[in-house]
A and B are shown apart, each in its own frame.
Chain A
Amino acid sequence: MRVGFIGLGRMGKGMAHRIHGGGHDLAVYDVLPEATAEFGAAGCGVARSVAELCGDREIVITMLAEETAVHEVAFGPSGMCASMPAGAIHMACGTYGVGTIRALESAHAKARQFLVAAPVLGRPDLAAAGQLGMVPAGPDEALRRCEPLFQLMSRRTFYAGPKPESATAIKLANNAVLGCAITAMAEGFSLVRKFGVDPRVLYDVMTEGLFAGAVAYVGYGKTMVEETYDRVGSPVTIGLKDASLIAAAAEIARVPMPSHNVYIERLLGAAAHGDGGLDQAVLAREQARRSGLA
């Protein structure tokens, strides 16, 4: 297939290489031209603009970190909606908000194009290895056409339904559950510390029992025990960005999420104390502060 790829960050790079490696005709675009060099060298098309990229593509994938970036790329006068052929598919792989997904869906529909939301689960190393989880949703026909690409990028595809926003909801809900797990662990560690218990004991009890095998607990819990918050996986600021998408989705759908509200409040507290650039496990330190421990 003729595939276009916009957004060659750490995740996007790995995904794009998988598609090219799968034998598809790939053209790429990034606002930073230097990000495209390795793809040019590998024989991919390198477009100088979104419009140039989209003109003859059957599927165009976006993997952008910021909502403003996807708005610019999709809705601008020379953006995707204006440039993609009728019948082409926009596969939106970044984590965008429900409002953005709805706006994209209707703009593409007007241009007789399709939107498939396909947020991904996993880190850059998994992206490079084609081992992501992908949660796609969109019209059946469009999903069927995207299927070969899902296979190249992911170890498992979780089909969420015919409405793109369903995929967004799953991705956001999964992030919400993670945020709440981090917050709860932070509270648990403060509680045991106040009673003079070594946090490692709680870590062992959790991760060898009910939470055995859960990366969320094993990973973030360990960072909390060791207080190695400067080895950053996902920083507080990114957590805040995602959390605001979750809160917006919850408000649109009328779903009160009290635990998630607590997570937001703790993230804000951490950022207020200058910990915005640190790993989200630093919520344990924020919780400790609230408990008079730090």
Chain B
Amino acid sequence: MKNAHALNVGLIGLGRMGRGMAGRILGGGHDLAVYNRTPGKDTDLIKEGALSAPSIAAACEGREVVITMVTDDAALREVTLSAGGVRKSLANGAVHLTMGTHSIACIQQIAAAHAESNQTFAAAPVLGRPDLAANGQLGIVAAGPRQALQKCEPLFQVMGRRTFLAGDRPEHAMAAKLANNFVLGCAIQAMAEGFSLVRKYGVAPQVFYEVMTESLFAAPAYKVYGKIMVDEAYDKVGFTTLLGLKDFNLIMAAAEQARVPLPSGNAFRDRLLSAVAHGDGEKDWAVVAREQSRASGLE
């Protein structure tokens, strides 16, 4: 269905998140060109009307907004700054919107490069899993020049349940997103410590879970991760320990750059690292509860 305010959009990065977001953009009546480094990820999207772009340049040509949704800083630098990258290919007046989670330093570098080319860059990292991406129920933390955010607004509406405006510099969004992940990680670590403590006193973990989630902590973070810990269902992976470690490295780097000591973050990062050292890198990151048990002589 065509939309009166339809945008010409490019999307680079068709991982599980990117594919879901692309589906929502198409469903919203926008014109979409997609590109992925590894080909073959766009079959379903082409059926839904997406144009398969053979190169980054082709995904940028004539596009008002180009979204990048790539896994890490190295990938974002490559698709943006390389010879045939977004910076060289972006149409006049177009916006580069990056929606992955990246380091502050990388975002600042990309922002500076676009500024040098008189281009507009915004960041809108997302909160949520692939199923939420496919249903347009992501949380979106957006920051950048006001006009750029206004232009992207119709896209936020089809991808997200709510947009949080974090400021006028792209790094503002990244700082808010990283801080939210930080608070989550610390909650996981605290629960892990709590479960070890009660287990040592002969308590069934389920009872502690109920006390927590029916009093002060009646929230998804505690219900979801607490349940994984009670069931020790670390093989049903939502977010791996290794990815958690990657996120916390970004967070600790941001904290060092801003001169903010994060002692709780240090404690959690150490536990993540120990979990990886014990071979739990590909388990769900709630497996820090097992690491905490090990440290407590319970395993």
Residues of A bordering B, CB below 8 Å: 98, 121-122, 133, 135, 156, 158-161, 163, 165-166, 168-170, 172-174, 176-178, 180-181, 183-185, 187-192, 194-198, 201-202, 204-206, 208-217, 246, 249-250, 253-262, 265-266, 290-292
Contact = CB atoms under 8 A, between A and B. Distances in A.
A249 B187 contact: no
Interface of B: 104, 127, 139, 141, 162, 164-167, 169, 171-172, 175-180, 182-184, 186-187, 189-191, 193-198, 200-204, 207-208, 210-212, 214-222, 251, 254-255, 258-265, 267-268, 270-271, 295-297
B207 A158 contact: yes
A249 B267 CA distance: 20
Q: Residue among B165, B183, B251 with the most chain A CB within 10 A? A: B183
A202 to B, nearest CB: 5
Contacts of A253: 197, 200-201, 296
Contacts of A202: 176, 179-180
Contacts of B197: 169, 172-173, 176, 246, 249-250, 253, 255, 257
A262 B167 contact: no
Contacts of A205: 127, 139, 141, 164, 176-177, 180
Contacts of A208: 139, 162
Contact of B201 (A98, A158, A184, A188): A98
Give 8 closest A-B pairs by Cβ, nearest first: A184-B186, A180-B190, A169-B201, A214-B219, A194-B258, A258-B267, A253-B200, A195-B175
A4 B178 CA distance: 53
Of B179, B187, B210, B215, most A-chain CB atoms within 10 Å: B179
Nearest to A249: B197
A168 B195 CA distance: 13
Nearest to B222: A214
A7 B81 CA distance: 69
B268 to A, nearest CB: 7
Given A133-B215, A177-B194, A187 B182 contact: yes
A55 to B, nearest CB: 33
A192 B176 contact: yes
Contact of B211 (A170, A181, A191, A262): A170
Contacts of B171: 195
A262 B187 CA distance: 13
Given A156-B214, A259-B193, A188 B203 contact: no
B211 A196 contact: no
A173 B169 CA distance: 40
Contact of A184 (B169, B183, B193, B207): B183
B190 A259 contact: yes
A111 to B, nearest CB: 24
B87 to A, nearest CB: 24
A166 B202 contact: yes
Contact of A163 (B165, B182, B202, B254): B202
26 contacts: A158-B210, A168-B201, A169-B202, A173-B193, A174-B194, A177-B217, A181-B217, A184-B183, A188-B182, A188-B183, A190-B260, A191-B178, A191-B262, A192-B175, A197-B175, A197-B176, A198-B167, A205-B139, A205-B177, A216-B217, A246-B197, A256-B296, A259-B193, A259-B268, A262-B267, A265-B263
A215 B210 contact: no
A117 to B, nearest CB: 11
Given A184-B186, A205-B164, A257 B193 contact: yes
A214 B219 CA distance: 5
A31 to B, nearest CB: 30
Given A158-B207, A180-B187, A210 B141 contact: no
A215 B297 CA distance: 33
B179 A177 contact: no
Contacts of A249: 197, 201
